[in-house]
Chains A and B, each alone.
Chain A
Amino acid sequence: MSCSCGSNAENVFLPKEAEIISAKKMTDTETHFSLRMKDGSTFDFEPGQIVEAGVFGFGEIPLGLSSSPTQTDSFELVVREVGKVSKALTELGEGDTMMIRGPMGKGFPLAELRGKDVLIVAGGIGLCPTRSLIRYIMARRDEFKKFTLFYGTRSPKELLFEEDLVEWRASDGVACLETVDQADESWKGNVGVITTLFEKAEGLDADTHVIICGPPVMYKFVIQKLVSIGIPHSNVFVDLERRMKCGIGKCGHCQINDKYVCLDGPVFRFSDIEELEEAI
């Protein structure tokens, strides 16, 4: 390696070290990390922002932060093992170092959501980035009106953050509706795709502000349901996933037409991108 050093401060690709406080296997494929910066700094971010998390020798991947910034002593990430880098990340354990760049991008529109009824529609691993907002709302419950969560997974064994779900279900002014595509013997709840929860929900109206995060196929069907309730596209925010390799609006991989997901998103107001054919 012939590389000699330049100024570390100026290099936007230079990650910082974060210590893994805990690493818990959540499912067959997901691992939940709690981290703190090794230099002692507080990791300031907005719900919905992303980081580039990496292991040298393998690379970096973009991940949505899954804790609330109201929790200042640590921050949390969930890694789903789908490729080379995510596999390397999930092999890290307590006390190990994860390389972090960020936070990056634009998060959820907190100022606009305050004082409103909020519906979050999370499919599968989409619960992880939206959890940053859910926990924020829970921590500042009086700043928001009615809060509804739709959460769907393919099967009960893929449910994430079950301890949180227990807490959210029991909270006043919170409607926590869950569904699975395919039930097993343990499952007593709703069975069906996530849009079937609209029939069970109460109090959703045209003033409700909606956050959607899930597999690409989910967005169109959820938005159709929202239209039937009369919720305008300008009240709908979508959290999109793309291959954000640089995180600084240069490498081009995350482009949706003329938008960079890593700069202009990952959270977009749906009315700003609905005309973009490549968006959802």
Chain B
Amino acid sequence: MKRCYISDEHLNGFVEALMGRGPVIAPVAKQSRFVFEKLETVDDLMLDYDTTILPPKVAFFPTKQELVTFDGKEAKSCINPTDQVLFGVHPYDIKGIAMSDKFYTDSHVDENYMANRRATTIVGSSVQKHYKHAFFGSVCMEVEVIGHDMFLTRVAGGYVADVLTDKGEALLGLGQFGDATDAQAGEADQVNQAAMENCPEKLENTSAQIRDKMRSSFRSDVWEELSEDCFSCGSCNTVCPTCYCFDVQDEWGLDGVSATRCRTWDSCLTAEFSEVSVQGGCENFREQRAERFRHRFMRKAAYLNEQLGGPACVGCGRCSGACTADIANPVVVINKIMEQ
């Protein structure tokens, strides 16, 4: 791995050079929070953000995505990727993207996702401020932070830039990069270590312990208790970097003949998610909110944990902040299960 350095005074020039090549999706301020959005001006870039409202997967798995279009006679694919840079992604979100990459390529390759993903160069950045619910320093530690092309760590006077792939290497020519000194590289390591250690919230157990305990707690009454105030709103799903479920719906064109098949993010916490139409009504296979609440945690902490080697939870804390009833915090839920 090549370790470079770019000073504060040259960072904006680098970002502007990236913007000159194509869209740069980066954290920008939105009222009191932050969002990943296409940069209109480099001055909007907020690398000292705590976390964003929605995870950066929006860059290749938008909240609504056209899959197939029909002109009245023939159906055509809507796969049409744009080369872009996803800039300033925190390590926990890089992990989430790597998990999504796996989910969308296991069994069947979903090119509607993967084509966008491959067209994206990812530049990560170190956590400079912690979101109040972050616990990424104590979850999914067995899963590597991989899949990004360059990683910027805030150090005195600038950033240490770790070059991780050929795509990352190709970015070096766009900025005034020099080699990082040993002192700068050492400082970067300390900064990233400190970010892990200083998370405001903490899980107490290993991924394997959590996986086994979750499995054995499936029939526990604790799920009723934990989900008692759940509104089934799905906010926890919507903000999650590793949730990847979706709905598929058709939309008519204005001509009344053409149509577009689209997918939109969907939420397993909503009451209708598992409904099946049957004669005379519908059958719901997770009718109770406790069943749906449990399903989400089983997915993250047991089922996908078994596939990934760690929970499908990266510790961003977004769900804890988004939950209307303040019951979704994985630290509270998992620590409670582990105490059973």
Cβ of A186 under 8 Å from chain B: no
Find chain A residues with CB under 8 A from B332 CB. none
A83 in contact with B277 (CB, 8 Å): yes
**Contact with A57, one of B103, B245, B248, B250 (Cβ below 8 angstroms):** B250
**Contact with B285, one of A1, A13, A80, A256 (Cβ below 8 angstroms):** A256
A14 in contact with B75 (CB, 8 Å): yes
Cβ of A46 under 8 Å from chain B: no
**Contact with A3, one of B115, B246, B260, B273 (Cβ below 8 angstroms):** B260
For chain B, residues 267 to 323, give those with C-beta under 8 angstroms from any C-beta of chain A. Answer: 268, 273-279, 283, 285-286, 291, 295, 298-299, 302-303, 306
B275 in contact with A243 (CB, 8 Å): yes
- CA of A50 to CA of B80 in the docked complex: distance in angstroms? 29
- CA of A71 to CA of B298 in the docked complex: distance in angstroms? 43
Task: Using CB atoms, name the residue of chain A closest to B249.
Answer: A59
A248 in contact with B108 (CB, 8 Å): yes
Provided the pairs A58-B250, A251-B245 are in contact, do residues A8 and B276 lie with their beta carbons within 8 angstroms?
no
Interface bracket on B = 35 or more
Cβ of A41 under 8 Å from chain B: no
Closest 7 CB pairs of A and B: A6-B79, A252-B245, A258-B303, A11-B77, A56-B70, A57-B259, A248-B108
**Contact with B68, one of A11, A253, A257 (Cβ below 8 angstroms):** A11
Q: How far is the CB of B238 from chain A (nearest CB, A)?
A: 14
Cβ of A245 under 8 Å from chain B: yes
Find chain A residues with CB under 8 A from B283 CB. 216
Interface residue SS majority, chain A: loop
Cβ of A189 under 8 Å from chain B: no
- CA of A243 to CA of B245 in the docked complex: distance in angstroms? 13
- CA of A263 to CA of B104 in the docked complex: distance in angstroms? 14
Q: How many residues of A contact B (CB 8 A)?
A: 49
Cβ of B106 under 8 Å from chain A: yes
Task: Using CB atoms, name the residue of chain B closest to A258.
Answer: B303
Q: Binary interface profile of A, 249-266, with partner B (CB < 8 Å = 1, else 0)?
A: 111110111100001000
B248 in contact with A59 (CB, 8 Å): yes
Question: Apart from A249-B107, A250-B245, what are 11 other A-B pairs with CB-CB below 8 Å?
Answer: A5-B76, A6-B78, A6-B81, A12-B110, A13-B68, A54-B250, A56-B250, A82-B278, A124-B279, A251-B247, A258-B303
Task: Using CB atoms, name the residue of chain B closest to A245.
Answer: B248
Provided the pairs A6-B80, A253-B274 are in contact, do residues A15 and B68 lie with their beta carbons within 8 angstroms?
yes
- CA of A166 to CA of B289 in the docked complex: distance in angstroms? 47
Cβ of A95 under 8 Å from chain B: no
**Contact with B261, one of A56, A253, A255, A278 (Cβ below 8 angstroms):** A56
**Contact with B67, one of A13, A255, A258 (Cβ below 8 angstroms):** A13
- CA of A260 to CA of B258 in the docked complex: distance in angstroms? 32
A246 in contact with B248 (CB, 8 Å): yes
Task: Using CB atoms, name the residue of chain B closest to A280.
Answer: B285
Q: How far is the CB of A172 from chain B (nearest CB, A)?
A: 35
Cβ of A228 under 8 Å from chain B: no
- CA of A263 to CA of B108 in the docked complex: distance in angstroms? 10
Q: Could you write out 24 A-B pairs with CB less than 8 Å apart?
A: A1-B66, A1-B69, A3-B78, A7-B79, A12-B111, A12-B112, A13-B67, A13-B112, A56-B261, A57-B259, A82-B279, A124-B279, A241-B276, A243-B274, A243-B275, A245-B246, A248-B110, A249-B106, A249-B107, A250-B104, A252-B245, A253-B245, A253-B247, A255-B268
Provided the pairs A8-B76, A8-B77, A11-B77 are in contact, do residues A277 and B218 lie with their beta carbons within 8 angstroms?
yes
- CA of A99 to CA of B335 in the docked complex: distance in angstroms? 48
Cβ of A19 under 8 Å from chain B: no
- CA of A10 to CA of B116 in the docked complex: distance in angstroms? 13
A6 in contact with B115 (CB, 8 Å): yes
- CA of A255 to CA of B51 in the docked complex: distance in angstroms? 30
Find chain B residues with CB under 8 A from A241 CB. 276
Cβ of A25 under 8 Å from chain B: no
**Contact with B276, one of A56, A243, A248, A263 (Cβ below 8 angstroms):** A243
Find chain B residues with CB under 8 A from A249 CB. 106-108
Find chain A residues with CB under 8 A from B268 CB. 252, 255
Find chain A residues with CB under 8 A from B258 CB. 1
Cβ of B266 under 8 Å from chain A: yes
Find chain A residues with CB under 8 A from B302 CB. 258
- CA of A5 to CA of B79 in the docked complex: distance in angstroms? 6
Find chain A residues with CB under 8 A from B279 CB. 29, 80, 82, 124-125
- CA of A35 to CA of B153 in the docked complex: distance in angstroms? 60
Q: Binary interface profile of B, 95-135, with partner A (CB < 8 Å = 1, else 0)?
A: 00000000110111111100100000000000000000000
Find chain B residues with CB under 8 A from A258 CB. 298-299, 302-303, 306
B253 in contact with A1 (CB, 8 Å): yes
Find chain A residues with CB under 8 A from B244 CB. 250, 252
Find chain B residues with CB under 8 A from A58 CB. 250
- CA of A7 to CA of B77 in the docked complex: distance in angstroms? 6
Q: Binary interface profile of B, 177-200, with partner A (CB < 8 Å = 1, else 0)?
A: 000000000000000000000000
- CA of A263 to CA of B303 in the docked complex: distance in angstroms? 15
B69 in contact with A3 (CB, 8 Å): yes
